[in-house]
Structure 1
Amino acid sequence: MDIDNIDGTEQGLTRADGLWFDDCSLIIQAETTIFRISREFLAIHSPIFRDMLSLPTPRDAERMDGCPLVCLPDSAEDVTVFLKALLYYDFFEPYPAATTYPILSGVLRMSHKYEVDALRNRALTQLSQFHPTTLVGWEEFAGKRGSCTWLTHPPSVLIAIVALARQLSIDWILPSAFYLVCEFTPERLILLESDDVELSSDDKVWCVTACRLLETTSVTRILDFLWSPTHINGCEARRACADARVYARRAAEAWRDRAADEAAIMPLDLWTDATGWNGLKVCDVCLSAMKIAHQEAKQAIWDRLPEMFGLPEWPELEKMKAQAFK
């Protein structure tokens, strides 16, 4: 079938802006969007397309404007961002250049499916930077979270990231991705059906169970340094320091209060310079000891994070990450 002199509006199709080149010999259709690009360029970058386009074209194959027509099952949005990332260097630049989640996820899905390794690694790097596998990385991420535009729209994007990681086996980002869902998403929104993307039934259970554990036991352990031990060896002002620590603990306990439709309070970002240390009036000896105890408690929680979500331990996740980037 040959569709000559096609007019996108007459045929119910739309030519993709910036992705229709009259001198190219391949037309791709995704949903109701059509793209005209170089088949040679596509074959160079993707072994899947290279194999697909190397097959002889049947005589009765559908054509458009005299060009072979390839219909893809992918969304028009994903194909658009994928082709633009291939053709326009500044459309999806390497980290630390900013991007959006629709661009990142579309490029990652398509580059994974069609084996465009350079783009896939670029997308994985962007995603991994904001989902670290170490506590040090998490603490660095906390300071630059606001610079990540695609993490400023919870909870839908946060849930979508978990679903994407499950779909593409990007397991090493899942502990921190799950943690962010717990931190910013009320339980009822985790459990409710969604018109866009939702977690699997198992992942919903993991999230809700972990939320309760993080909000209760883990928060208690994070705050334990405020009154355990009762006295710190070498304290320079025992009575004043003890009173200050008890007062701080009582104040911190008040942070647990929240409305039923609010997200749970999470332990890893609970006690920071702004919310805790700057207002704690204790001697230098006590302050130093308490900071060590607090960091050890954070590390213990971080070490248990994969287990809370039914995932392999961090060393195994690190191996998966290293293998993915080979």
Structure 2
Amino acid sequence: MDVDSQAPIVPGADLIRAEDLWFEDCGLIIQAEKTIFRVSRDHLAVHSPVFKDMLSLPTPKDSDMMLGCPFVALPDSAEDITVFLKALLYYDFFEPYPAPVSYAVLSAVLRMSHKYDVPALRKRALVHLSSQFPTSLHAYETLSSAENPPWVRELHTEGPDYHDIIVLARCLSLDWILPLAFYRVCEHSTEQSILKANYSMEDKVILFTACRTLEGSALTCMLDFLWPAVVPGCVSPQECSAERTYARRLKETVRIRPSTRAPSLPLHIWNPDDWDTFEVCEVCLAAMKAEYQEAKQAHWDSLPEMFGLPKWSELEKMKVEALS
């Protein structure tokens, strides 16, 4: 975190002023760790009922003061409070979706706006987060064909990962996020990383059980459209059956993996490009596409129950209520 050159201002206190969050004409000083912020108490009170209640309490004569201003020490990290206050005070710091945002900023805004009850900021953060965890298969398929925003790319390349999303969603009761977040963990994580993750043993058991299902019976059902079958109207039954058998064997080899590599799971075992190299007649191709899509929808519908969550319809209601 950047700070200005005027600190420390209290002898022996080793405090530093937060850059861009120290306003000489404002009357409230906040401390988080070793960083102090001077901001408007009225601005905080307008946006946050928690701060409003906190600052409306009578001020005892012997209460903490600094530079003639009321002084409040918060238990949060300096980084979180810096992000939170900048999101409140600078309109272009945390812009609405689909503006780019980092994961560190997104998670801090969401946690702090939840804790200090700032509905507008919380809703904005939830829209960013929920955009990448849809509750319908159609929205998921549309998402899969789009470029990931910066904060999602960070999950794959820098420090944070989908384990953090589960911790965040559990902490803030964002249940509609969890089915796809759990699925992403199964998709991108090894058994070792799940064991080391910082969430409950109950969630780890849920994940291990789901991973067995996803790699086993769920994946088998997803590939059933590749079994040889007689399709009414097929113009080349032998050739089409042979092609389906070949494709099935090819996909089955993907299931063989070392424990250090994440598995291939049902929603991605068959790629859109696979249809382009699939040499069957048009009649069989149309029938197989329909069968595959039906299996994909059935699999999507089963995800919440697989992870011990309510049905998608209930999760969608939670999402709508949170974003309203």
Partner residue in 2 for 1:90: 92
Amino acid aligned to 1:283: C
Partner residue in 2 for 1:52: 54
Cα pair 1:225 1:290 within 8 Å, conserved: yes
Amino acid aligned to 1:163: V
Q: How does 1:29-40 map to 2 (within 5 A)?
A: 29-40=31-42
* Distance of aligned partners of 1:126 and 1:324 in 2 relative to their CA distance in 1, 3 Å threshold: same
Partner residue in 1 for 2:172: 168
Q: How does 1:43-192 map to 2 (within 5 A)?
A: 43-144=45-146, 146-154=148-156, 156-192=160-196
* Residue of 278, 289, 292 corresponding to 2:290: 292
Q: Report how far residue 145 of structure 1 moved.
A: 5.0
The runs of 5 or more residues in structure 1 that have no matched partner are none
Cα pair 1:151 1:158 within 8 Å, conserved: no
Partner residue in 1 for 2:4: none
Q: How many residues align?
A: 316
Deviations 1:170-214 (A, max 9, x none): 00110001111111010111012x5xxx12110001011101110
The runs of 5 or more residues in structure 2 that have no matched partner are 1-6
Q: Report how far residue 148 of structure 1 moved.
A: 4.2
Aligned Cα root-mean-square deviation (Å): 1.6
SS at match of 2:155: coil
Cα pair 2:227 2:244 within 8 Å, conserved: yes
Identity of aligned residues (%): 55
How far, CA to CA, are the matches of 1:163 and 1:36 in structure 2?
32
Partner residue in 2 for 1:245: 244
Q: Report how far residue 10 of structure 1 moved.
A: 5.3
Q: Report how far residue 150 of structure 1 moved.
A: 3.1
* Distance of aligned partners of 1:8 and 1:105 in 2 relative to their CA distance in 1, 3 Å threshold: farther
How far, CA to CA, are the matches of 2:149 and 2:288 in structure 1?
31
How far, CA to CA, are the matches of 1:280 and 1:53 in structure 2?
68
SS at match of 2:279: coil
* Distance of aligned partners of 1:295 and 1:273 in 2 relative to their CA distance in 1, 3 Å threshold: same
* Distance of aligned partners of 1:30 and 1:48 in 2 relative to their CA distance in 1, 3 Å threshold: same
How far, CA to CA, are the matches of 1:147 and 1:232 in structure 2?
42
Partner residue in 2 for 1:309: 307
Cα pair 1:210 1:309 within 8 Å, conserved: yes
Q: Report how far residue 144 of structure 1 moved.
A: 2.3
Cα pair 2:8 2:14 within 8 Å, conserved: no
SS at match of 1:133: coil
* Distance of aligned partners of 1:51 and 1:99 in 2 relative to their CA distance in 1, 3 Å threshold: same
Cα pair 1:234 1:285 within 8 Å, conserved: yes
Q: TM-score, normalised by structure 1?
A: 0.93
Task: Between 12-21 and 280-289, report the one with greater CA deviation.
Answer: 12-21
How far, CA to CA, are the matches of 2:139 and 2:218 in structure 1?
20
Partner residue in 2 for 1:235: 234
Q: Report how far residue 33 of structure 1 moved.
A: 1.2
